[in-house]
Structures are given as structure tokens and as C-alpha cells.
Chains A and B, each alone.
Chain A
Amino acid sequence: AQSVTQPDIHITVSEGASLELRCNYSYGATPYLFWYVQSPGQGLQLLLKYFSGDTLVQGIKGFEAEFKRSQSSFNLRKPSVHWSDAAEYFCAVGPYSSASKIIFGSGTRLSIRP
């Protein structure tokens, strides 16, 4: 079955600390992977995406993610978080160019400790 697992429901990190949010997927075909961010009261915004090529992808707001096929993972990282990064983060997987089949994870809520 196709699925996306975000094992951490809620993470709290100190401002300035590094961040890693975990994402594991199960997908039968070549996956197209996304990270979206949802700030409070807002819709989801695309942070970054990966389909092929360099397995380390850069996104907006200083985020990056690394695709590891052997581990079926696509973890999101940021070297130094800012208070404005407090939000809900969703990992998603789907086939290329077919938004109707995108599967979302359950999300990880990130809190920032001053």
C-alpha cells in the first residue's frame, strides 16, 4: 500500500538549533516527494520537491531535504531554526505530474523554544 509516515507528531527545538523532520514513504513506482508547510491559519505552501537528480534538494526559507532510496526516506532539515519556522510540516508523495494522486502524511507540528 502507498503511504507516508511522519513518526513525530510534535517537535520542539530551541531557536538557532538545527532541525530534522522525518518522513518515510511506501510507494510502488518512482516517487515524487514534497514537503509542505502550513503556518497557523494559512494554507499549505510548497517548501521543496524531489523527483530525480541530486538527492539533496534545496527549498525556500533555508530548508533542504535528502532523498534516501535505500531507506525510503525524505527527511527535512534546517541548520538553524527561527521563531517564524513554527508551523505544521507535511511530507507528501505521488507520481510525477499527477497531483490527484498525492498522498499526505499526518504532519509534524514544530514549536520553537525562545
Chain B
Amino acid sequence: DAGVIQSPRHEVTEMGQEVTLRCKPISGHDYLFWYRQTMMRGLELLIYFNNNVPIDDSGMPEDRFSAKMPNASFSTLKIQPSEPRDSAVYFCASSATSGSGELFFGEGSRLTVL
């Protein structure tokens, strides 16, 4: 299996622009997670989906952030409008109910907002 695939790996944008991050989970996994990693706050869970349905978005920092999962093989995390404080590495991870609960992470998308 190719693992969790994220794109883009790096994104540099200007404040106020829309940013869309993409994720393809491991085939057969029914859970998908979006995390944000910063030096100050460490690894934060933003939102997770089960069978394409958002279950808990309490970690989404504000309304500028939104996430969708239109099908089992694709999810997006959108920031509109972006701000410099959104600069971070965003990770997508997937997991299987039938498994033991471990997470499989993508390589991350490093976002820099100028």
C-alpha cells in the first residue's frame, strides 16, 4: 500500500488567500484525522471523520477552517482566509476500526502564510 498521501508537501501563500490541503487515506481505513503541528502547541487534533462523516470538529480553531470528505479516498482541509498564525505542518492520518487503533500518518503539508 502507498500509505497516506498528502499534497501539497509545501505551500507558501499570502495572508488572505485560500489554502486547500488534500489527503488520500490508506485504502480500507474508515477513520481519517487532520492534525496540526506547531512548535508552540505540539500536535493538535483538528477534526476526524468516520466513514466519511465528520464526528468531532471541536479542534478546528475557527470558522476559517473547514474540512470535507466527499468519499472514502479523499479529504480536504481548507483555510479561508489564511493568516500568518496558521503557519504549521498539517498532517493527515488514517486508521481502521478493525485494527488496534494505531494511526498511520502522511508526510505532512508544511504551510507558510506570509
Interface, chain A (partner B; CB < 8 A) = 32, 34, 36, 41-46, 49, 51, 90, 94-100, 102, 104, 106-107
Contact = CB atoms under 8 A, between A and B. Distances in A.
B43 interface: yes
17 contacts: A36-B105, A43-B4, A43-B105, A43-B107, A44-B93, A44-B103, A44-B105, A46-B103, A49-B100, A49-B102, A99-B33, A99-B95, A99-B102, A100-B33, A100-B55, A102-B101, A104-B42
B108 A43 contact: yes
A104 B4 contact: no
Interface residues of B, number: 23
B97 to A, nearest CB: 7
B100 A96 contact: yes
Interface in B42-87: 42-43, 48, 50, 55-56
Interface of B: 4, 31, 33, 42-43, 48, 50, 55-56, 91, 93, 95, 97, 99-108
B31 A99 contact: yes
B41 to A, nearest CB: 9
Nearest to A92: B103
Nearest to A107: B42
Contacts of B103: 44, 46, 99, 102
Contacts of B101: 32, 94-99, 102
Contacts of B48: 100
Nearest to B103: A99
B103 to A, nearest CB: 5
Contacts of B104: 46
The 6 closest A-B pairs by CB, nearest first: A43-B105, A99-B95, A44-B105, A97-B101, A99-B101, A43-B107
Contacts of A51: 100
A90 B91 CA distance: 15
Nearest to A98: B101
A104 B59 CA distance: 14
B107 A42 contact: yes
Contact of B56 (A45, A98, A100): A100
A46 B100 contact: no
